[in-house]
Amino acid sequence: MNYKNGRDVLPPSLLSELQKYIQGDLIYIPKPSNQRASWGEVSGTRKLLAERNKEIFQHYSNGATVAELERKYHLSSESIRKIIVKTR
């Protein structure tokens, strides 16, 4: 998060109004909820995990065992099973 001086980014009337409530402290102003990215959308992590999970399910459907998938993907058996159930 980058610090910005209110004097540099706010109109004087808005700065004056905000100073009625807070002075000299940092304040976080969140984006509107409709503009926020979901987890992993910006970095691409969400897409990578979805592709990995699809691949795990395909291997399982083609006869790979949970133990084999654990070793291949470095995941616990519980994680592999959850992926298989969710992907069905």
Kindly report, residue by residue over 2-55, the tens digit of the pLDDT. Answer: 888 999 999 999 999 999 999 999 888 888 877 777 888 888 899 999 999 999
In a domain? residue 80 = yes
In a domain? residue 60 = yes
In a domain? residue 11 = yes
Angle (CA) 75-77-82 rounded to 5° is 90
Q: Is residue 1 pLDDT above 80, yes or no?
A: no
Q: CB within 8 A of 27, min separation 6: which ones?
A: 18
In a domain? residue 83 = yes
Position 53 scores a pLDDT of 97
Range of the domain at 28: 6-32+39-87
In a domain? residue 78 = yes
Give 3-state DSSP helix, strand, coil % of the chain, rounded to 5.
60, 0, 40
In a domain? residue 1 = no
Could you give the number of structural domains in the chain?
1
User: pLDDT tens across 48-82, in order?
Assistant: 999 999 999 999 999 999 999 999 999 999 999 99
Position 35 scores a pLDDT of 73
Rounded Cα distance between 58 and 3, Å, is 47
